[in-house]
Amino acid sequence: MDPLVNLPDWAGMAPMLAFAVTALVLFLLDSIEPESDSLSLTVLTGVGLIGSLAAVVLSGWFLLEAGPVELFAGAYVVDEMSLFFTALIGSVTALVVLGSHDYIAETDYRAEYYSLVFLAATGMAMVASANSLAAAFVAVELVSLPSYALVAYLKHNRGSVEAGLKYFLVGALSSAIFVYGISLVYGATGALQFDMIATAIDGDALTGGPGILGLGILMVIGGVAFKTAAVPFHFWAPEAYEGAPAPISGFLSSASKAAGFVLAFRVFTVAFPLDAVSGTFDWTLAFLILSIVTMTLGNFAAATQEKVKRMLAYSSIGHAGYVLMALAAFSGTGAESLLADVSNDSLLLGAGMMHLLVYGFMNTGAFLFVALAEYWGVGRRFEDYNGLWREAPIASAAMTVFLFSLAGLPVGAGFLSKYVLFMGVIGAGLWWLVVIALVNSALSLYYYSRLVKALWIETPETPHEIDSYPAGIYAAVVAAAVVTVLLLPGFGVVAEEAIAAAGALL
Amino acid sequence: MTWIYDLVPAIALLPLVSFVVALFAGKYLPKKGALAGIAATGGSLVLSLLVALTVATSDGADTGYNETLYTFLEGSSSAPFSLELGVLIDPLSALMLVVVSLISFLVHVFSLGYMNDEGETGLPRYYAGLGLFSFSMLAFVFASNILMAFMFFELVGLCSYLLIGFWFREAGPPSAAKKAFLVTRFGDYFFLVGVVAIFATFGTGAFAGSESFPHLAEQALHGEHSVNTFLGLGEQAWFTVVGLLVLGGVIGKSAQFPLHTWLPDAMEGPTPVSALIHAATMVAAGVFLVARMYGFYALSPTALGVIAFIGGFTALFAATMGVVKQELKQVLAYSTISQYGYMMLALGGGGYVAAVFHLTTHAVFKALLFLGAGSVIIAMHHNENMWDMGGLKEKMPVTYWTFLAGSLALAGIFPFAGFWSKDEVLYETLIHGLGESPLLLGGYAMGLLAVVFTGFYTFRMVFLTFHGEPRTDVAEDPEPVRWNVKGPLVVLGVLATVLGAINMVPIKKLTDADIDFLHQFLDEAPSGFLTSVHHYAELLEVEAGYGAADIGTTGLLASAALSLGLALAGAGLAYRLYNVPEPVEHTDKLGRVKTLLMHNYYQDEYQVWLATGLTVPVAKAADTFDQGIIDGVVNGISSVSRFAGRGVRRIQTGVVRNYAALLTLALVLLVAFFGVTGGWF
């Protein structure tokens, strides 16, 4: 562990434990003071902010100072990749906590709400560190179960409850597929830990022929695809994102998706090395198909939506398609990239991580803007947002930054992360995949601009009646916008870290 | 004294400050920003003089300065060159800095009389424009690489646009400004391509030093360095192409045939601006650029030949048009085109010193003539038609005598400044023509013939304006002008008379006295810079095959006598025809030639035709293609996308059973596909 203070190895779990402890503290506060209106919301939000920022600071500190650690006989690793994602999850959690402050002010069970958010965040941090299929499954479930409850949090809202139920049903099916896949892999290789699976595959110590392993891997992809909301496991996403409280939509579409991707990056690069399994099952081809279908379906569907939140939900599916390109273009050979001194695989994974990081801010910010609009009761359709800049110029400007950055225009770091990702894919020779992604990006510019146009250019049919400006959501939206813009000049520094983390994994 | 080099950026930054002051605080200042401009350009002048003095008095490497100030793109392995801003001071740029800041300073002073005293409005904008103009030109002059030069070259173009169109409420000036902008921009496209080509070829745009692109080109020709050439051309041919591309910008800015058409129209701007544009900034920028990268042009005899021919032709061509103009400033405009033609002729003809010499003397006497014309225009209540003047000699003696000095210099009459420089231009072209490049004799002949026309139109202008009887009431009783008009005129008048003394080559050849000061000064560049005169002479001889014929003292005198005689002949004819109490128009005697000249050889007409008759139909066709086919495809794609999007929406039925079924179905399809291809079964 850290050479300066000689911490024990288990201290490596500190970022994850920060989430867990925060969740328990919130439970404790709730049980001391069960009457929801007597316990100050400010205290809850404060505890939540401290917990999530502590996770960010701890993981950032370990990332810079400490070396990798293995715990629980190698089932749990703390390395650069996991710390990077823990920091990402912590940042998104902080934004969500801050943005929820005003959003849930009028509801009951606020401590439970925060507590569930932190339990899910604990699960995400564990997913980032899981190094065995069993640990991964438990962690994924730890993410999923609180998420179902959070989506259905608005108990008296039909949409919210329905979305929660659908999410749960599709989730149960996906979990079943995932765990079945795990059992098949275990059956074929006799191992659950990622590196041991790789050793077994390499040593040809397979039981039951290639079919068992191939089917297992494909089903593991199913589990990952569910978490990342990739087609065809995406069906829950539009409804869950639309029905859930808007901060939770941001949380699920950013942090939960990132957790799914870190699992995919780790499982497929460590447990199923491409050179060993490509004869049985060329998973890059599977990801290539998923990537194309996901981005195309997500963007095309987003283009025809009438409701803003649903448009963002589909755009979130589209973005999962972009990041899937990183795995689709993976080569496993260590070939040079278009940048000097970096292998193309590290560049690809690093770019995927960067895109998820930037996406964590711009997408959460966009959903929080929707939360703001819901708070004001503006309405759900594009037309309802007409001329909102008159009442909320700062928030509208921030939203414009998010939308253009999501589309990949250089007002925010979304431009650079997409650019580097495309560069990596071209470096792998898949230029036609980049062409498809570019067409999709162009289409996405269309539907993002629709909202920008509504905000700034159109005039509202009836004037908006806005009487209060919630400080918490505003602070979160502005913070997200500032980070989205600052990552543009600061991109190089963070990207180096991400590429190094990817390189360390490979 | 070399510490002064650290202050070089201030030479340009001072006018930039005056630009900002005039723009934002101008309307609160007593003279609307004029005083800030005068102070700033005065400061630039003092600094430039100190720099020039340092260059002149130092030895060895101290005679120059070549430093990078700011790198805005660091080179890397994939893009192996840096883009930077830098300062290059050598004798050429030091001299030009003095010229530019001097003229700019005097123009600012003169503007007090021409603009403030005449009660013009919008003066802060005017002085802001002058400040930015001076800043751009000064920074262009000390630019250390071709990209920086290009950037400021473009800024100079922008400033000329802003100032020519200063009176934007009238019909003429905005149109003239647009024309100047567009025509020069046409040339600048070639320049831009040239800049890119230079970076692509050499990986550097530096002007001076052993890593500069002229030197790399020289080494490449000797096989000591390899460069990238394109289009399958050999090195020599490719360098010629690059040189000609850059020359496109030069032809536009320096108003050479066929891109000279913007310049006469640019007379719509305020007269002090015309003085600045013609003498020291915009038009001078083109010729200066060729001089700046002369080490590159000297490698290509073809490019030199093109330059010489364009120059000689323009000199003659513009001079003939100047003969029939009615308006004072129009005559001066055509004389500018013609004189810059001489400089190009000199550069192409191997006379680097001659070109710089003529650039310097011309800056002085052309500024003088424009400011003199400005003085006359004030007196004549902004009537510029020479046929409405006459007899102003008695009423405005200071203007007359200084204008006369400028005219004598322009016509090239001994011993005024223009005589020495023009004589050297023609002499250099002649000896190289007689030497090993006989084609230059064609350029020489045109330049020589232009001397007659120059003498004629110059004195026609002088006689019509100042001599004879006043032909209108205003000319009877012109408005008086103040010190701020007369002061600059006197300074320039004295300079136009004596400035030839800086490089009296014929006297040197006759007496062996060591008085070719300009030549020695320009030759002082640090040897590492490779921008000295003897280096260029070497290149010309070795690379371009320019040998000089020895035509002896007799030939020298004969050449000088010939050009002086022709100038006098032209002037004499003007004297016969126009120095009479009641001059009449003689242009009718020219018959159809007059119509041709009056229409400027239909240059504008054919260029307008190119725009409206050719470009517009092509653009319309492209527009039809764009609207019909490109947009059609785009619209088609968007319809298809929205249709497909609606289809995709339909998948999301809202019924969770369907989701589970589709999910499972998709998984089965994937299993089937990979199972078959992976041999699982």
ipTM score of complex = 0.90
List the single residue in A with minimal CA-CA distance to B77.
A340
Q: How far apart are CA B374 and CA A36, in angstroms?
A: 86
- Whether A197 and A276 have beta carbons less than 8 Å apart is answered as no
Q: Decide if pLDDT at A291 tops 90.
A: yes
Which chain A residues are within 8 Å of B654, Cβ to Cβ?
239
CB-CB neighbors (< 8 A) of A232 in chain B: 662-663, 666-667
CA distances from A376 to A99, A372, A478, B114, B530 (A): 14, 6, 17, 63, 72
The set of residues, in sequence order, having a beta carbon less than 8 Å from that of B672 and lying 6+ positions away, is: none
Q: What is the mean pLDDT of residues A347-356?
A: 93
**pLDDT (tens digit per residue) in A81-112:** 999 999 999 999 999 999 999 888 888 888 88
Pairwise CB contact (< 8 Å): A286 & B659: no
Q: Give me the pLDDT at residue A318, please.
A: 94
Q: Which two tokens stand for residue B47?
A: 């600094």
pLDDT of B439: 80
In Å, how far is A57's CA from the nearest CA of chain B?
34
Provide the Cα torsion A418, A420, A425, A429; round to 10°.
140
Are the C-beta atoms of residues B64 and B89 closer than 8 Å to each other? yes
Q: Which residues of A fall within a CB distance of 8 Å from B667? A: 177, 218-219, 222, 232
Of A166, A281, A300, the CB nearest to B644: A300
Is A60 in contact with A142 (CB distance < 8 Å)? Answer: no
CA B474 to each of CA B113, B246, B380, B381, B389: distance values in angstroms, whole numbers, following the listed order: 19, 48, 6, 8, 8
Residues of chain B with pLDDT under 70: 1, 76-80, 587-588
Token pair of A236 as six digits: 């829950």
The A residues from 242 to 301 touching B (CB cutoff 8 Å) are 279-282, 285-286, 289, 297, 300-301
Gap between the Cα atoms of A45 and A114, Å rounded: 8
Chain B nearest C-alpha distance from A35 (Å): 36
The pLDDT-based confidence of A147 (bands split at 50, 70, 90) is: very high
What is the CA A474 to chain-centroid distance, rounded?
22
Residues of chain A contacting residue B646, judged by C-beta atoms under 8 Å apart: 304
A-chain residues near B640 (CB < 8 A): none
Torsion sign over Cα B66, B70, B76, B81: negative
Which has the higher per-residue pLDDT, B681 or A498?
A498
What is the dihedral sign for C-alpha A432, A434, A437, A441? negative
Measure the CA–CA gap between A393 and A399, rounded to whole angstroms: 10
A394 in contact with B at a CB cutoff of 8 Å?
A: no
- In this structure, how many other beta carbons lie within 10 angstroms of the beta carbon of residue B616? 11
Radius of gyration of chain B (CA): 29
Report the chain B residue with the minimal C-alpha distance to residue A287. Answer: B670
- For chain A, the domains span 293-506
Of B285, B286, B288, B350, residue with least CA distance to B136? B285
Nearest CB to B680; choose among A173, A214, A236: A214
Question: Are the Cβ atoms of B649 and A301 closer than 8 angstroms?
Answer: yes
- For residue B558 the two structure tokens come to 């004969």
Judge contact between B488 and B106, C-beta under 8 A: yes
Give the C-alpha separation, B216 to B225, whole Å.
7
Distance from CA of B638 to the nearest CA of A (A): 8
| pLDDT in the model for residue B62 | 80
SS3 (DSSP) at B655: coil
From chain B, the residues in CB contact with A286 under 8 A are 670, 674
For the whole model, what pTM was predicted?
A: 0.64
Distance from CA of B635 to the nearest CA of A (A): 12
Chain B touched by A201 (CB under 8 Å): no
Q: How far is A284 from chain B (nearest CA, A)?
A: 12
CA distance A133 to B214: 65
B674–chain A Cβ distance below 8 A for any pair: yes
Q: Taking the CA of residue A440 as centre, how many other CA atoms within 13 Å lie in the half-sphere pointing to its CB?
A: 30
Q: How confident is the model at residue A36 (pLDDT cuts 50, 70, 90)?
A: low
What span, in angstroms and rounded, lies between the C-alpha atoms of A483 and A502? 23
Q: Provide the pairing of β-strand B65-73 with A76-78.
A: unpaired
Judged by CB atoms closer than 8 Å, whether chains meet at A304 and B670 is answered as no
Q: Say yes or no for a CB contact (<8 Å) between B681 and A301.
A: no
The answer to whether A329 contacts chain B (CB < 8 Å) is: no
pLDDT at site A287: 94
Percentage with pLDDT > 90 across chain A: 62
CB B90 within 8 A of CB B527: no
Q: Look at strands A69-71 and B83-89 and give their pairing.
A: unpaired
Q: Which residues of B touch A304 (CB under 8 A)?
A: 642, 645-646, 648-649
Nearest CB neighbour to A215, from listed B642, B664, B671: B671
DSSP B88: E
| SS3 of chain A: helix, strand, coil, percent, to 5 | 75, 5, 20
What is the arithmetic mean of pLDDT over A443-452?
A: 91
- The two structure tokens encoding residue B155: 């800024």
Please say whether the beta carbons of B183 and B161 come within 8 A: no
Mutate to test the interface with A, among B667, B671, B673 (most CBs of A within 10 A): B667
Residue B678 and residue A210: Cβ atoms within 8 Å? Answer: yes
- State the pairing for strand pair A69-71/B65-73: unpaired
- Single out the residue of B99, B117, B105 nearest to residue B35, CA to CA: B105
A222 contact residues in B (CB cutoff 8 A) = 667
Is it the case that residue A1 has pLDDT exceeding 60?
no
CB contact under 8 A, B662 and A232: yes
Which of B74, B663, B669, B677 to substitute to test the interface with A, most A CBs within 10 Å?
B663
Residue pair B163/B126 in contact by the 8 Å Cβ criterion: yes
Identify all chain B residues contacting A305, using CB atoms and an 8 Å cutoff.
649
Cβ-nearest to B659 among A222, A235, A301: A235
Q: Which two tokens stand for residue A78?
A: 């703390």
Question: Cis omega before residue B258 (within 30°)?
Answer: yes
Q: Quick one: which of A10, A56, A24, A478 has its CA closest to A255?
A: A56
Q: Which of B648, B668, B676 best probes binding to A when mutated, by most A CB atoms within 10 angstroms?
A: B648
The H or E element that residue A76 is part of is: strand A76-78
Which chain A positions have a beta carbon within 8 Å of B663's beta carbon? 170, 173-174, 232-233, 235
Cis check for the bond before B174: say yes or no (omega within 30 of 0): no
Closest by Cα among B443, B619, B468, B643 to B546: B443
| CA A74 to chain CA mean position, Å | 25
Is the CB of residue B479 less than 8 Å from the CB of residue B379?
yes
Q: Phi, psi (5° rounding) for residue A188?
A: -75, -40
Distance between B632 CA and the closest CA of chain A, angstroms: 16
Contact B680 A166 (CB under 8 A): no
Kindly report the nearest CA distance between residue B217 and chain A, in angstroms: 29
From A446's Cα to the closest Cα of chain B, the distance in A is 10
pLDDT at B78: 62
Task: Cis check for the bond before A245: say yes or no (omega within 30 of 0).
Answer: no
User: Are B680 and A446 within 8 A, CB to CB?
Assistant: no
Whether residue B667 and residue A236 make contact (CB cut-off 8 A), yes or no, is no
Of B268, B301, B300, B425, nearest in space to B354 by CA: B425
Contact present, B397 and B490 (Cβ < 8 Å): no
Give B 188-207 residues with CB within 8 A of chain A.
none
Q: Contact, A430 vs A328, CB < 8 A? A: yes
| Higher pLDDT, residue A163 or B7 | A163
Residue B649 backbone dihedrals phi, psi, to 5 degrees? -60, -35
Rounded to whole angstroms, the Cα distance separating B234 from B214 reads 16
Dist. CA A337–CA A427, nearest whole Å: 6
DSSP track, B489-515: HHHHHHHHHHGGGGG-HHHHHHH--S-
CB-based contact, A177 to chain B, within 8 Å: yes
- Rounded mean pLDDT of A429-434? 92
The whole-number pLDDT of residue B583 equals 72
Rounded to the nearest angstrom, the minimum Cα separation between A6 and chain B is 41
> Six-digit token pair at B305?
């030949």
Helix orientation angle between B146-164 and B172-202, rounded to the nearest 10 degrees:
180
In angstroms, the separation between the Cα of residue A271 and the nearest Cα of chain B is 19
Q: Report the pLDDT value the prediction gives residue B79, as an integer from 0 to 100.
A: 63
The torsion angles phi and psi of A3, rounded to 5 degrees, stand at -70, -25
Min Cα distance A234 → chain B (Å) is 9
Q: For position B651, what pLDDT does the model report?
A: 78
Q: Which amino acid is at B507?
A: I
Q: How many CB pairs below 8 A link A and B?
A: 87
* Cross-chain residue pair A232–B671, CB shorter than 8 Å: no
**Percent residues over pLDDT 90 in chain B:** 5
Tokens in use for B403? 């204008």
